[in-house]
Amino acid sequence: MNILVTGIAGFLGSALMMRLSQGRAENDMHYGLVHDKWGWELDWEELRGDLTNYPRLLEIIVDCEIDQIYHFAAKSIVRNCKSDPLGCFHTNVLGTANLLEAARQSGCVQGIMVMESDKSYGDGPVPYVEDQALQPGSVYEASKACTGHVCRAYYKNYALPVFTVRSANVYGPGDPNMSRLVPRTITRLLRGQRPQVTAGAKDFLREFIYVDDFVDYVTGLMQKQPWGEAINVGSGETATVAGVAEMICVLMKKLMVAEDWPKPDDLVEIPEQVLSLEKLRKWLPEMKPPVKLQEGLRRTIEYYREEEPVCV
């Protein structure tokens, strides 16, 4: 099985690639798409490429005889997407279309997973159900909703074997993005600093899923071949933003009160993000119970105690 993972320099892409490498068969080949050479000496081959370069994507898929694609590469920092909307749409929407078209033209790809987002639902009613109307508001939300529509168009028009994942907030060891709540809170506490919570968002409700569970569910779905579907992936466990920061403080025995982190550029946040997981359980009736938030945070704290994360 020849597998291509885009975005392996990111949190999710690297986590999935490392999991694939653990169960790699003798004849399997795993390829990771990066902008620049990454430099990790692990059990896969790095390929330089850009989602906006269609000829390069087609070359990679054909030359490497790719069977499956896990597509994570995207512009995912919400505030950066707001400041550069054209760059966001160019990468997230057109880049995904380029990848799907290259897969279609190659004739060899047997399955594609595309990372959409629970933010595609925008401020719609919760719990989010896959067939409800999408109500994206921000540039990032709109880009991800469009990504999902492009995928379903390729399935309906060309029978391309693709599905999308609308995931809850993924956390866990290895996340280098210090704009995210969990790694930012842990690293600030390790430095003796107070945790920060985005101003006005302390009581906002979020669903969280541990990275290992996310990888289990996504790879499990690929094997089930849910082509043309959008599927919510989460844990069913929710907490407020302030509640997560407080939980981390308790686990680290650093009882500090969170300070407000100024909201950049009047960024609009969604008050509640909760997923219905009925469809996920239908496709994965054998799915194992997810790691509880407190246990997942404990494991994540231990990782950051031992490793020096790269802040981006």
Contact (CB, 8 A) for 44 and 57: no
Q: What is residue 311's predicted lDDT score, i.e. its pLDDT?
A: 42
Cα within 13 Å of Cα(249), Cβ side? 18
How many CB atoms lie under 10 A from the CB of residue 205? 15
Q: What is residue 312's predicted lDDT score, i.e. its pLDDT?
A: 37
Give me the residues of the chain with pLDDT under 50, please: 39, 309-312
Q: What is residue 265's predicted lDDT score, i.e. its pLDDT?
A: 60
- The CATH number of the structural domain formed by 2-168+209-233 is 3.40.50.720
Q: Domains of the chain: which residue ranges?
A: 2-168+209-233, 171-206+237-266+289-306
Give per-residue pLDDT as tens, 144-202.
999 999 999 999 999 999 999 999 999 999 998 888 999 999 999 999 998 988 777 88
Helix axes 11-22, 211-224, angle to 10 degrees: 70
Helix (H, G, I), strand (E, B) or coil at 254: coil
Q: How far is CA 26 from CA 1, 2, 29, 30, 47, in A?
A: 10, 11, 9, 11, 20
Q: What is residue 301's predicted lDDT score, i.e. its pLDDT?
A: 97
Q: What is residue 23's predicted lDDT score, i.e. its pLDDT?
A: 72
Give the burial string for 144-168 (b: 16+ CB within 10 Å, else e).
bbbbbbbbbebbeeeebbbbbbbbb
Does the domain spanning 171-206+237-266+289-306 belong to CATH 3.40.50.300? no
